[in-house]
């Protein structure tokens, strides 16, 4: 079992009887996390997505709670003092504040945008209104990390906004997923600029995957997405698309205004 397509497919099929979350429960690791594949020995940065899936289906709340508590304890390696010192003194290839850390794709690596965004969404859904203690602290660090590593003019790349002194180009999907995680935060210039950039790029986007995430993000910000949904229909060729994750993301984007947006977080 591959975790990402399984999660997205289950979310897309949430109103169907075939959406059985037992497959996720069977693949959950003893510590509460999930690997990218059921046979993996290491935890994956997609654990947050698995929690979102269980929340969407309303199944196995104890499993979701165990995973959420695992997320509270997990972090990118820049959170550890030897790496913090390294990034402050000798490793100047990237430009970020190591005090602001999120979640990695794999244990022992640095924080990345997408796993951090999924983890934040999961924690915010599972601990709504949490303003004190370790959970709130962890959410705050993750939010700070996303804001710190945005591209200089807005939007997000996969990891860092500046490398070797050069500003990186934003990615549509990473920007959309990061904006979803920041929806419940107070609005600021970065969020506004990133949303405006995403709105423009979505209208030109030929990629079903990136366009689907754009629709989900803009819908979460209460922006009209009907024209983008029509655009999405024109770029999808179901008989030519064998990627389950993409098809599921498309389905989620096309019915988010009717069946609800699984990536919304109460403000």
**Least confident interval from 77-86, 128-137, 170-179, 223-232:** 77-86
Sorted by where each starts, the structural domains of the chain and their CATH numbers stand as 3-259 (1.50.10.20)
- Tens-place pLDDT, residues 80-90: 656 555 666 66
Please return the burial class of 97, using the count of CB atoms within 10 Å of its CB with bins 0-12, 13-18 and 19+. middle
Q: What mean pLDDT is reported for the chain? A: 90
Residue 23 DSSP code = H
Residue 108 has pLDDT above 90, yes or no: no
Distances (CA, A) of 97 to 91, 144, 192: 12, 9, 22
Per-residue pLDDT band for 216 (boundaries 50, 70, 90) equals very high
- Tens-place pLDDT, residues 238-260: 666 678 999 999 999 999 999 99
Q: Of 34, 32, 23, whose CA–CA distance to 66 is shortest?
A: 32
Per-residue pLDDT band for 97 (boundaries 50, 70, 90) equals confident
Q: Are 70 and 30 in contact (CB under 8 A)?
A: no
Both structure tokens of 12: 């897309």
């Amino acid at each position: 079992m591959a975790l990402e397509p399984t999660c997205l497919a289950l979310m897309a099929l949430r109103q169907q009887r075939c959406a059985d979350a037992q497959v996720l429960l069977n693949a959950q690791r003893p510590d509460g996390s999930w690997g990218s594949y059921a046979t993996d020995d290491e935890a994956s940065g997609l654990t947050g997505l698995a929690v979102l899936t269980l929340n969407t289906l309303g199944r196995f709340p104890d499993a979701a709670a165990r995973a959420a508590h695992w997320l509270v304890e997990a972090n990118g390696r820049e959170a550890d003092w030897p790496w913090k010192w390294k990034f402050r003194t000798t490793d100047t290839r990237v430009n970020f504040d190591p005090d602001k850390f999120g979640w990695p794709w794999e244990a022992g690596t640095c924080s990345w945008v997408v796993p951090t965004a999924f983890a934040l969404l999961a924690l915010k859904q599972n601990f709504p209104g949490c303003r004190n203690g370790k959970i709130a602290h962890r959410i705050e660090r993750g939010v700070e990390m996303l804001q710190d590593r945005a591209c200089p003019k807005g939007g997000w790349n996969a990891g860092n906004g500046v490398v070797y002194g050069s500003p990186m180009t934003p990615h549509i999907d990473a920007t959309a997923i990061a904006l979803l995680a920041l929806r419940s935060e107070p609005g600021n210039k970065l969020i506004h600029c990133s949303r405006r950039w995403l709105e423009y790029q979505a209208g030109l986007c030929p990629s079903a995957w990136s366009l689907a995430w754009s629709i989900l993000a803009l819908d979460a910000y209460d922006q009209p997405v009907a024209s983008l949904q029509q655009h999405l229909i024109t770029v999808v060729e179901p008989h030519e698309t064998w990627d389950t994750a993409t098809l599921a993301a498309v389905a989620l984007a096309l019915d988010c205004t009717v069946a609800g947006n699984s990536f919304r977080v109460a403000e």
